[in-house]
Amino acid sequence: MKYYTSVNNQEYEIEIHHERELVVNGERYEIDFQKLPDAGLASLLLRNRSVEAVIEERDGFWEVLIHGQLYTVQVQDERAYRLAQARGTAVADGAGDVHAPMPGIIIAVSVKVGDHVKQGDKVAILESMKMENELRAPRDGVVTHVNVHPGSSVEKNAVIVVIESQS
Amino acid sequence: MKREDGLLTRRFNKLLIANRGEIAMRILRACHELGIKTVAVFSDADRMAPHVRYAHEAYHIGPSPARESYLVVEKILDVAKKSGAEAIHPGYGFLAERAHFAQACVDNGIVFVGPPARAIHVMGDKQEARQTVRAAGVPIVPGTEPGLNDEEMIAAAAQMGFPVLVKAVAGGGGKGMRPVHRAEDLPDAIAAARREAMAAFGDDVVYLEKMITEARHIEIQLLADSHGNVIYLGERECSLQRRHQKLIEEAPSFVVDADLRRRMGEVAVAAARAVNYVNAGTIEFLLDKDKNFYFLEMNTRLQVEHPVTELVTGIDIVQEMLRIARGRKLRFSQEDVKIKGWAIECRINAEDPYNNYLPSTGVITTSRLPSGPGVRVDTGVFPGYEITPYYDSMISKLICYGETRGEAVLRMRRALEEYRIMGVKTNIPFHQHMVESHRFLTGQFDTSFVETRFSMDDSIGETHELEAAILATLAAHRQGQQASQIVARGARDTSNWKYLSRWERLRR
């Protein structure tokens, strides 16, 4: 089976021949992949290089924890990959949404609809866990929706502000 | 023995822990080592927490929000009476520094494992604390009186010169505190500090303090018994902070030599004596680049970072607290206290260092702790535990010991790598960046370092994109194969569940 896998803006074409061998971007690797009885724990011997990882599927992505670093990996099989190519954009937009990372209360909103913002600009302050947390713009663009006002209480993952890029 | 200032010391055999999480576990362990029975209390969220499961008795005290459970004095005292607990250890946070709680314990004939109510009261009021310790000859940072209105503070700041700090009289842990570098930012900062202080403490009185730049946060751990003996257990270096939340602490400090340690220690002892302090406490100092030090505040409780002092002195601070509360004399004199080796603590928090350190909530799915020589982990979480917005975001304290600072740092690097925690984002990558940074390795940092000059962008060591891609693909491949074989039902003479477990066994 052939897969198209991307992580941190790097793409890999991975072909799995059988359990002990795969080909990554044309290069052949001998592997030994074992899952531990503990949920999520896996051991990989990659040309005898030993890597232990925690692997979990979350919201359609694979989260892989190796040596303290968390990698978010997208894996598509050939069919999903071709479909995505045909649709043009592989990932649905939503990259301009500012989400509440946790439940809390909005203390201040520093943008309004029509404002031009730069990536990293402060858009709102969310109070949660007794701390004021600054929420920042994920990209440059124009504010198209502001769904909260000071005093709003928000659930986790609620969309607070939408920023559309102007390309 | 009962004192006028709200101190009761007496032998006790059963203790209530008015706290949760890792610190409840820490206290429980000290109690069990001394043969003291333990009583836990828990909110709705904490039924399965380890402090409940490991204690001898446990009592439900209400809903998850702390103000309806862990902060309700009457509920705690009720459980103490019901269970026959003769003493209460408050841990840190919650009721630990509420003088009225300490007094209420004593009024009910219960030993409060901490200082006299009067000492908590005086040190808890920042202004009264400053005046009291200044009278005892302790150097303090210049600042304004409290209770000035905004205009008066703005005028005072102009005289004092910027930068200044806006601080809440009732503040602590960085809440209601704002640094201000330019006069035009002061009105907003005062408003924000008042708002935060009102929300956190129900009191919006603030004051200004001159900001000491390039300062280090150095604190002195004290132990005082009820017989008038006070000793210091050396210093902790706590300069690595973000928004006044400590992230990494170590003992000893890179910049404190034996002479400075003695001088800071003696001043700290004088500050404690000024309030007839008893039990464990900490004096926080700012140390400027010319090695002048200024009293910041006294923490009248056990601190989060106490383990680093335990590791370099060999003294179990929580056990000593229990002995002191039982009315015993200190077992050590100042000369007995020797600093040996080096200890570093990293606070592992549920927050995303790659996204402005936003807190992360969710269920911990995997938690495999590092271990081996020189590694200690104090934690209250476990797989299945949910990080909620009700309590603070600390997952654990990872503490490493070495003969030298270098050895401790290398151990920490190894331990961070071994730590497997999944389900929420953690700041482990922050710590990994820190222990690799040149400034950390050479000990050149101050309290502004994390916020102003530290970056998560520099890559550290090798990255593992290829391995991550392969692992995720293999996991997806297996899942896909299992799914496709499960769908083909009917063609098989056995249930899909049986088939799946056979399939998994075949592949072991």
Same domain, B204 and B252: no
Same domain, B260 and B409: yes
pLDDT digits (tens, 9 = 90+) for B379-419: 999 999 999 989 999 999 999 999 999 999 999 999 999 99
Percent of chain B with pLDDT over 70: 94
Active site residues of B: 301
Partners of B419 on chain A (C-beta within 8 Å) are 68
Q: Closest chain B residue to A8 measured between Cα atoms?
A: B465
pLDDT (0 to 100) of residue A17: 87
Residue A76 pLDDT level (bands cut at 50, 70, 90): very high
pLDDT higher than threshold 70 for residue B485: no
Count of CB contacts below 8 A, A vs B? 165
pLDDT (0 to 100) of residue B115: 98
> Which of A87, A109, A134 delimits the end of a domain?
A87
Check whether the bond before B115 is cis (ω within 30° of 0): no
Distance from CA of B11 to the nearest CA of A (A): 37
Give me the mean pLDDT over the B263-279 stretch: 98
Residue B508 pLDDT level (bands cut at 50, 70, 90): very low
Whether the Cβ atoms of residue B186 and residue B212 lie closer than 8 Å to each other = no
pLDDT higher than threshold 80 for residue B466: yes
Distance from CA of B252 to the nearest CA of A (A): 27
Partners of A56 on chain B (C-beta within 8 Å) are 365-366, 422-423
DSSP 3-state assignment of B309?
A: helix
Give me the mean pLDDT over the B236-249 stretch: 95
Q: Find residues 195-224 of chain B whose CB sits inside 8 Å of chain A.
A: 195-196, 199-200
Between CA B418 and CA B430 the distance in angstroms is 15
The verdict on B459 touching A (C-beta cutoff 8 Å) is: no
Q: Which candidate from B465, B467, B470 shows the least CB-CB separation from A8?
A: B465
Q: Does A50 reside within a domain?
A: yes
Between CA B209 and CA B164 the distance in angstroms is 6
Residue B503 pLDDT level (bands cut at 50, 70, 90): low
pLDDT (0 to 100) of residue A91: 42
What CATH number is given to the structural domain containing A80? 3.30.700.30
Whether the Cβ atoms of residue B226 and residue B232 lie closer than 8 Å to each other = no
Q: Does B203 reside within a domain?
A: yes
Same domain, A49 and A118: no
Same domain, B206 and B221: no
User: Which of A75-79, B63-67, B302-306, B457-461 is the least confident region?
Assistant: B457-461
Percent of chain B with pLDDT over 90: 78
pLDDT digits (tens, 9 = 90+) for A111-166: 999 999 988 888 999 888 777 888 888 888 899 999 999 988 888 888 899 888 76
pLDDT higher than threshold 70 for residue B250: yes
The verdict on B508 touching A (C-beta cutoff 8 Å) is: yes
Place of tokens 């400590």: B246
Same domain, B308 and B237: yes
Q: Which candidate from B200, B360, B416 shows the least CB-CB separation from A68?
A: B416
Same domain, A83 and A7: yes
Query: Domain range for residue B484?
Result: 472-506
Same domain, B499 and B407: no
Between CA B498 and CA B26 the distance in angstroms is 45
pLDDT (0 to 100) of residue A90: 39
Q: Does B483 reside within a domain?
A: yes
pLDDT digits (tens, 9 = 90+) for A90-103: 344 567 788 888 88
Give me the mean pLDDT over the B222-241 stretch: 97
What CATH number is given to the structural domain containing B393? 3.30.470.20
Q: Which candidate from B355, B391, B475 shows the least CB-CB separation from A55?
A: B475
Q: Does B458 reside within a domain?
A: no
Same domain, B229 and B203: no
One-letter amino acid at B355 equals N
Between CA B21 and CA B49 the distance in angstroms is 7
Query: Domain range for residue A11?
Result: 2-87
> Which of A58, A87, A116 delimits the end of a domain?
A87
pLDDT higher than threshold 70 for residue B353: yes
Q: Do B393 and A129 touch (CB under 8 A)?
A: yes
Same domain, A70 and A125: no
Same domain, A83 and A6: yes
Q: Find residues 310-349 of chain B whose CB sits inside 8 Å of chain A.
A: none
Same domain, A73 and A101: no
Give me the mean pLDDT over the B203-216 stretch: 89
Partners of B465 on chain A (C-beta within 8 Å) are 7-8, 10, 71
Between CA B48 and CA B79 the distance in angstroms is 19
Q: Which candidate from B423, B467, B476 shows the least CB-CB separation from A44?
A: B467
Give me the mean pLDDT over the B472-490 stretch: 78
Q: Which of B365, B394, B470 to mutate to test the interface with A (most CBs of A within 10 A)?
A: B470
Q: State the Rg of chain B over Cα.
A: 25
- pTM value is 0.82
Partners of B361 on chain A (C-beta within 8 Å) are 101-103, 156
Q: Does B126 reside within a domain?
A: no
Q: Which candidate from B196, B359, B479 shows the least CB-CB separation from A129?
A: B359
Q: Does A92 reside within a domain?
A: no
pLDDT (0 to 100) of residue A89: 47
Residue B487 pLDDT level (bands cut at 50, 70, 90): low
Q: Across chain A, what does the average pLDDT equal? A: 87
pLDDT higher than threshold 60 for residue B262: yes
> Which of A20, A52, A87 delimits the end of a domain?
A87
pLDDT (0 to 100) of residue B305: 98
Whether the Cβ atoms of residue B208 and residue B199 lie closer than 8 Å to each other = no
Q: Across chain B, what does the average pLDDT equal? A: 92
Same domain, A21 and A58: yes
Highest mean pLDDT among A32-36, B99-103, B193-197: B99-103
Q: Closest chain A residue to B462 measured between Cα atoms?
A: A67
Partners of B507 on chain A (C-beta within 8 Å) are 19
Same domain, B394 and B490: no
Question: Minimal CA–CA distance to B291: which of B212, B401, B367?
Answer: B212
pLDDT (0 to 100) of residue A100: 86
Distance from CA of B255 to the nearest CA of A (A): 30
Partners of A122 on chain B (C-beta within 8 Å) are none
Same domain, B268 and B323: yes
pLDDT (0 to 100) of residue B171: 73
Whether the Cβ atoms of residue B38 and residue B25 lie closer than 8 Å to each other = no
pLDDT higher than threshold 70 for residue B500: no
What CATH number is given to the structural domain containing B201? 3.30.1490.20
pLDDT (0 to 100) of residue B492: 52
What CATH number is given to the structural domain containing B24? 3.40.50.20
Highest mean pLDDT among A5-9, B153-157, B298-302: B298-302
Q: How many domains does chain B have?
A: 4
What CATH number is given to the structural domain containing A138? 2.40.50.100
Between CA B188 and CA B178 the distance in angstroms is 10
Same domain, A9 and A80: yes
Same domain, A76 and A102: no
Partners of B425 on chain A (C-beta within 8 Å) are 70
One-letter amino acid at B100 equals H
Distance from CA of A61 to the nearest CA of B (A): 9
Q: Do A33 and B358 touch (CB under 8 A)?
A: no
